[in-house]
């Protein structure tokens, strides 16, 4: 049986936050996660964009434990070994932006009719499920025009996710996406696409970036020099 990694503790139409069952054990930034819904044949997909750990008490903060009253110094993992009760007072949470859902076996890369219910299970996606969802790249637009999150870095992390069959070049990133009508200047990442060629090298062709659009070297270098190169 597939193991749950946490449960939904906050939910909206465009995203959800989950509490991890194990302290400091959230899925990595950019991971694809799945939240169950009240309809057994439907689940919501999200991409992790924020991970945080703090006090379970509203408004509370973690206390310093690196030095005991006797003057003993504790470092890093030693603090958790010395204070196993921290797992009861601290909680690791992660937030995900909704990028699609699956209904009756069909994957859709748009917003679901309802968000996942609070306290419902969350799973990390891998293997065939990850490959199936990323076979299409319609969700790229959702990431690129998302606000209040590091959307460029999130897209870069998604492209670098390990998945079966990527060596065949069948990546969602090979599709050219057009910028949204509300922003006539193309986003740099929208100009990237792959070409089937020797060594599966990435090319940037017809790169025309308007002056008012910032060039993002972090995103481009991460894609070009990732393990797909």
Structure tokens at 182: 């509300």
Is the confidence at residue 117, as pLDDT, over 80? yes
| Residues paired with 98 in a beta bridge | 46
201 near 226, Cβ under 8 Å? no
- 5 with 115, same domain? yes
202 near 177, Cβ under 8 Å? no
- 84 with 161, same domain? no
Boundary (domain end) residue, out of 103, 125, 147: 125
- 91 with 166, same domain? no
Structure tokens at 83: 């204070």
- 119 with 30, same domain? yes
- In terms of residue numbers, what domain contains 88? 1-125
79 exposure class (CB count in 10 Å sphere: 0-12, 13-18, 19+): middle
Q: How many domains does the chain have?
A: 2
- 24 with 114, same domain? yes
Q: What number is the average pLDDT over the span 199-216?
A: 38
pLDDT of residue 144: 82
- 27 with 97, same domain? yes
pTM of the model: 0.75
The C-alpha atoms of residue 192 and residue 189 are separated, in whole angstroms, by 6
Whether residue 26 is contained in a domain is answered as yes
96 CB neighbour count, 10 Å cutoff: 25
- 120 with 147, same domain? no
Structure tokens at 25: 């054990």
pLDDT of residue 226: 43
pLDDT of residue 165: 57
Q: What number is the average pLDDT over the span 103-115?
A: 95
Which is more confidently placed, 64 or 97?
A: 97
pLDDT of residue 160: 81
Task: Kindly state the percentage of the chain with pLDDT values over 90.
Answer: 50
Confidence bin at 205 (pLDDT 50/70/90): very low
Residue among 110, 118, 130 at smallest CA distance from 170: 130
Is the confidence at residue 222, as pLDDT, over 80? no
13 exposure class (CB count in 10 Å sphere: 0-12, 13-18, 19+): exposed
């Amino acid at each position: 049986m597939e193991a749950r990694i946490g449960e939904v503790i906050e939910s909206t139409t465009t995203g959800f936050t989950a509490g991890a069952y194990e302290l400091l054990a959230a899925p990595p930034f950019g991971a694809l996660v799945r939240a169950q819904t009240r309809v057994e044949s439907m689940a919501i997909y999200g991409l992790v964009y924020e991970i945080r750990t703090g006090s379970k008490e509203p408004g509370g903060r973690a206390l310093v434990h690196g030095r005991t009253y006797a003057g003993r110094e504790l470092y890093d993992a030693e603090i958790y070994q010395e204070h196993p009760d921290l797992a009861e007072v601290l909680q690791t949470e992660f937030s995900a932006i909704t990028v699609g859902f699956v209904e009756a076996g069909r994957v859709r890369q748009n917003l679901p009719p309802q968000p996942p219910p609070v306290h419902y299970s969350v799973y990390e996606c891998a293997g065939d499920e990850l490959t199936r969802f990323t076979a299409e790249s319609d969700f790229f637009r959702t990431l690129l025009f998302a606000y209040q999150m590091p959307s460029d870095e999130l897209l870069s992390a998604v492209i670098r996710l390990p998945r079966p069959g990527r060596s065949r070049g069948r990546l969602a990133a090979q599709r050219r996406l057009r910028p949204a009508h509300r922003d006539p200047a193309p986003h740099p990442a929208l100009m990237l696409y792959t070409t089937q060629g020797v060594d599966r090298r990435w090319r940037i062709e017809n790169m025309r970036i308007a002056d008012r659009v910032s060039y993002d070297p972090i995103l481009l270098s991460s894609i070009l020099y990732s393990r797909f190169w």
